[in-house]
Amino acid sequence: EIVLTQSPATLSLSPGERATLSCRAGQSVTNYLAWYQQKPGQPPRLLIYDASSRATGIPARFSGSGSGTDFTLTISSLEPEDFAVYYCQHRGSFGGGTKVEIK
């Protein structure tokens, strides 16, 4: 399985700020990367697939970019409901997660 490394582990930001989350793959996954959001006590929710395509119902403030081994999830302006843990995924591998917390 490909190893996915997410950074930073924790991101402390205020509402309205821009969040930039990174996911690095141990080898090229072309654009086959997905991002999920998970809030406490809830299952993960698919945000982004194919590196940059938003899933159904996902707000435009969420965007994904990258290809090969380096990927980014950007939240353009944090809303209160965006404070959560974010995971990247390719096939059977998940990254370790980035927690976006309120500063």
Partner 1 sequence: DVQLEESGGDLVQPGGSLRLSCVASGFTFSRYWMTWVRQAPGKGLERVAAMNQGGGEMFYADSMKGRFTISRDNAKNSLFLHMSSLGAEDTAVYFCTRVYGSYGVMDVWGQGTTVTVSS
Give the interface with partner 1 as residue ranges (CB under 8 A): 29, 32, 34, 36, 38, 42-46, 49-50, 55, 87, 89-97
Q: Which is nearer to partner 1, 30 or 77 (CB)?
A: 30
Beta-strand pair 98-102/10-13: parallel
* Count of CB atoms situated within 10 Å of the CB of 30: 12
Say if CB 101 and CB 52 are below 8 A apart.
no
Q: How far is the CB of 77 from partner 1 (least distance, A)?
A: 26
Q: How far is the CB of 49 from partner 1 (least distance, A)?
A: 5
- CA gap 95, 103 in Å, rounded: 23
Q: Which is nearer to partner 1, 22 or 94 (CB)?
A: 94
- CA gap 15, 78 in Å, rounded: 5
Q: How far is the CB of 50 from partner 1 (least distance, A)?
A: 8
